[in-house]
């Protein structure tokens, strides 16, 4: 077949993002390319044929060992040439295989199977292997960086923001702990679901009509074949494996995709000129803008979000592929071929997230400056709680009025409280009761009002540093 430059390919995954993720995509093609798809189908056909040799030819070792070399002898172009005649991809593969296997075994090639026994079983193997060998290791590297950021910045003060406004202080490690926890749980779930993909050798409508003609134990026959491929059978089947095994895996991958997009969005906002709390690596030969030389755009974070926008909506197709008429129709065939693109798009987003996190510059001084830029108003909640704890039932309203005065007159909350002797006395009493510094010091060190943020950041770092142990449980 004609070799073409990658710049002639249609999908950006095959040129632009291939070049950016060459190593990762080369690993993925080992499971998701058309060539890999044919190879995995051959693995299933050969496992079926070996079980026929065991059943009908006394497990002859010469035949079994001859079958081991069949996979390597088939080229995708042979199968495609045959498909031009048959107009049926699996029958084309079967015809090619019949020419490659020992003559005595030829009548048994594909015997008792329907095309989808082969296709769905091969698909489960490919997805399991791609996810466990490529996707999970990439996600684990992202998780490792999140854990590092979480631990290294456990005590670095940052202002918490809601609705884009300063809320109360936290630490940057605490902010990263959120992502370490969310992504960590998703990785564990993806790994578990990848290990629960199923196969089937149950014939045209899943009721073993064909294999029951050949053996008194068709389910045992199926289980033996699938076991040799490392799979369990679908609990029930039509012509297809129950679609939800794969659907649930893809949905959880989309959950992880959303987490990466959320993280990317947060990191992008923290790089706003006015905020300037983190920065993506910017090398001296790099260009921020073609016209504004001072620009340092957070484009890698934007790239992750953009991939998410391109691929996350594919989840609608995954749901639509759940539905098939009666025991099956073929309307999920072309659409499911694009799962490969989806996984490549997700892997590219994970790899780019990793790149951003690995070299992320954390500007602790600016984080501190930003907390203090709201003066001591980020302690308004603390003031109201201290006041209420001293028995004032209108505490929230009183402090709110004081904050309005602060805004109007440009004074600090500490001053506004000091000016009000009743409030001042109650707040001081509460501070003393809980062993906090006196008001003057308390209101000058707003970054210390951070609750359990440091403890939480460290706990999450400890927990997800050991994520491999959770994964082992699901092997
Ligand atoms: O074991 C069987 O084959 C059972 C049979 N149904 C089919 N099962 C599996 N594949 C089938 C089926 N029908 C067509 N084809 C072939 O699927 C190919 C579809 O190509 P594409 O739309 O590009 O994904 C394309 O190659 C089609 O020829 C049934 O009638 O129940």
Predicted confidence (pLDDT) per residue in 286-323, tens digit? 888 888 888 889 999 999 999 999 999 999 999 999 99
d(CA 374, CA 386) in angstroms, rounded, equals 20
Residue whose pair of structure tokens reads 């805004």 in the numeric block: 407
Alpha-carbon gap, residue 18 to 23, rounded angstroms: 9
> Do 199 and 326 fall into the same domain?
yes
The residue from 352, 370, 388 where one domain ends is: 370
Distance between Cα 390 and ligand 1 center (Å): 75
Q: Are residues 242 and 343 in the same domain?
A: yes
Q: Which two tokens stand for residue 2?
A: 């004609």
Task: Examine the fold and report which residue of 348, 370, 392 is the final residue of a domain before the chain moves on.
Answer: 370
72 lines ligand 1 (CB under 6 A): no
Q: What angle do CA 114, 204, 333 make, to 5 degrees?
A: 65
Looking at the fold, whether 133 and 241 belong to one and the same domain comes out as yes
| Ordered DSSP codes for 26-64 | HHHHHHHSHHHHHHHHHHHHHHHHHHHHHHHSTT-HHHH
Position 56 in a domain: yes
Query: Of the candidates 183, 189, 186, 221, which has an alpha carbon nearest to the alpha carbon of residue 202?
Result: 221
Pair (171, 313) in one structural domain = yes
The predicted pLDDT at position 282 comes to 85
| 406 & 437 share domain | yes
- Assess whether the C-beta atom of 84 lies below 6 angstroms from ligand 1: no
Strands 232-233 and 198-199, by their bridges, are parallel
Does the CB atom of residue 88 touch ligand 1 within 6 A? yes
386 pocket-lining for ligand 1 (C-beta < 6 Å): no
Question: Tokens for 97?
Answer: 């295989």
Task: Write the residue with the smallest CA distance to atom 19 of ligand 1.
Answer: 333
- The residues that bridge with 231 in the sheet, in sequence order, are none
- Is there a domain that residue 454 lies in? no
- Report which protein residue has its CA nearest ligand 1's atom 16: 88
Q: Does residue 279 fall inside a structural domain? A: yes
Decide: residue 366, CB within 10 A, 0-12 exposed, 13-18 middle, 19+ buried. Answer: middle
How many CB atoms within 10 Å of residue 259?
A: 23
86 lines ligand 1 (CB under 6 A): no
Q: Give the residue whose CA is nearest to atom 22 of ligand 1.
A: 334
Query: Taken in order 14, 17, 21, 22, is the CA torsion positive or negative?
Result: positive
Give the Cα separation of 326 and 65 in Å (integer). Answer: 40
Residue 75 and residue 186 share a domain: no
User: CA of 6: how far to CAs of 12, 77, 292, 338, in Å?
Assistant: 10, 19, 32, 19
Distance 94 CA to ligand 1 centre (A): 13
DSSP string covering 283-349: -TT--S-SS-TT----HHHHHHHHHHHHHGGGHHHHHHTT--STT--STTHHHHTTHHHHHHHHHHH
Q: What is the CATH number of the domain that holds 222?
A: 1.20.200.10
Tens-place pLDDT, residues 219-268? 999 999 999 999 999 999 999 999 999 999 999 999 999 999 999 999 99
174, part of any domain:
yes
Q: How far is the CA of 133 from the centre of ligand 1 (A)?
A: 29
Residue 37, ligand 1, Cβ within 6 A:
no
Residue 367: predicted pLDDT = 98
Based on the fold, state whether residues 95 and 119 are members of the same structural domain. no
Range of the domain at 79: 33-108
Tell me the C-alpha to C-alpha distance, in Å, between residue 240 and each of 40, 196, 308, 314.
17, 16, 30, 21
> 273 and 138 share a domain?
yes
- Give me 124's structure tokens: 């489960």
Q: Considering its fold, how many domains does the chain have in total?
A: 3
Show the beta-strand stretches assigned E in 281-329.
Answer: none
Q: Let me know if residue 19 belongs to a domain.
A: no
- Residues of the chain where predicted confidence (pLDDT) is lower than 70: 1-3, 475
Per-residue pLDDT at 2: 61
Question: Residues 149, 139: contact at Cβ < 8 Å?
Answer: no
Atom 9 of ligand 1, residue of closest alpha carbon: 115
CB–CB of 169/158 below 8 Å? Answer: yes
Final residue belonging to a domain, choices 370, 394, 427: 370
Q: Are residues 200 and 70 in the same domain?
A: no
Q: What's the CA gap between 342 and 286, in Å, rounded? A: 30
Q: Does 328 reside within a domain?
A: yes
Distance 340 CA to ligand 1 centre (A): 19
pLDDT at 352: 98
242 and 356 housed in the same domain: yes
Q: Give the integer Cα–Cα distance in Å for 407 and 261.
A: 36
State residue 347's pLDDT score: 98
The residue whose CA has the least distance to atom 7 of ligand 1 is: 115
**pLDDT cut 90: percent of the chain above it:** 93
In a domain, residue 468? The reply is no
Instruction: With respect to residue 126, please indicate whether it lies within any of the assigned structural domains.
Output: yes
Identify any residues that bridge with 199 across adjacent strands, giving them in sequence order.
233
Residues 381 and 348 in one domain: no
Q: Are residues 286 and 194 in the same domain?
A: yes
- Supply the pLDDT for residue 80: 97
pLDDT at site 22: 97
ipTM of the complex: 0.95
């Amino acid at each position: 077949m004609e070799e073409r430059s990658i710049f002639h390919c249609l999908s950006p995954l095959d040129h632009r993002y291939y070049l950016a993720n060459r190593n990762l995509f080369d690993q993925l093609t080992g499971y998701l390319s058309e060539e890999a798809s044919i190879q995995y189908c051959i693995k299933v056909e050969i496992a079926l044929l070996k079980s026929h040799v065991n059943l009908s030819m006394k497990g002859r070792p010469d035949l079994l060992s001859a079958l081991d070399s069949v996979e390597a002898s088939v080229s995708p172009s042979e199968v495609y040439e045959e498909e031009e005649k048959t107009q049926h991809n699996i029958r084309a593969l079967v015809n090619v295989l019949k020419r490659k296997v020992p003559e005595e075994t030829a009548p048994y090639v594909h015997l008792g199977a329907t095309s989808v026994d082969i296709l769905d079983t091969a698909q489960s193997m490919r997805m399991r292997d791609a996810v466990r060998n490529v996707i999970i290791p990439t996600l684990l590297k992202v998780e490792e960086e999140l854990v590092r950021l979480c631990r290294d910045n456990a005590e670095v003060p940052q202002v918490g923001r809601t609705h884009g406004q300063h809320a109360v202080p936290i630490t940057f490690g605490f902010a990263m702990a959120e992502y370490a926890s969310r992504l960590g749980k998703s990785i564990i779930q993806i790994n578990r679901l990848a290990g629960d993909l199923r196969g089937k050798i149950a014939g045209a409508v899943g009721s073993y009509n064909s294999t029951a003609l050949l053996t008194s134990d068709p389910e045992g026959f199926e289980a033996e074949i699938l076991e040799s491929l490392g799979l369990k059978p679908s609990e029930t089947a039509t012509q297809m494996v129950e679609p939800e095994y794969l659907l649930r895996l893809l949905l959880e991958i989309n959950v992880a995709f959303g987490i990466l997009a959320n993280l990317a969005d947060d990191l992008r906002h923290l790089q706003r000129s006015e905020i300037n709390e983190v920065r993506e690596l910017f090398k001296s030969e790099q260009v921020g803008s073609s016209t504004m030389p001072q620009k340092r755009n957070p484009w890698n974070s934007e790239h992750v979000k953009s991939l998410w926008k391109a691929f996350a909506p594919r989840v609608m197709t995954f749901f639509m592929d759940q539905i098939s008429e009666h025991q099956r129709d073929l309307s999920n065939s072309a659409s499911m071929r694009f799962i490969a693109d989806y996984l490549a798009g997700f892997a590219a987003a994970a790899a780019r997230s990793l790149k951003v996190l690995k070299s992320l510059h954390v500007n602790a001084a600016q984080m501190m400056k930003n907390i203090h830029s709201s003066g001591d108003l980020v302690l308004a909640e603390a003031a109201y709680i201290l006041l209420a704890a001293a028995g004032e039932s209108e505490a929230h309203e009183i402090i709110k009025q004081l904050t309005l005065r602060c805004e109007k007159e440009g004074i600090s909350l500490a001053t506004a409280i000091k000016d009000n002797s009743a409030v001042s006395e109650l707040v001081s009493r509460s501070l003393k009761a809980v062993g906090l510094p006196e008001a003057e010091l308390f209101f000058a060190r707003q970054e210390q009002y951070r609750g359990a943020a440091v403890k939480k950041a460290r706990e999450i770092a400890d927990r997800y540093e050991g994520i491999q142990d959770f994964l082992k449980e699901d092997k």
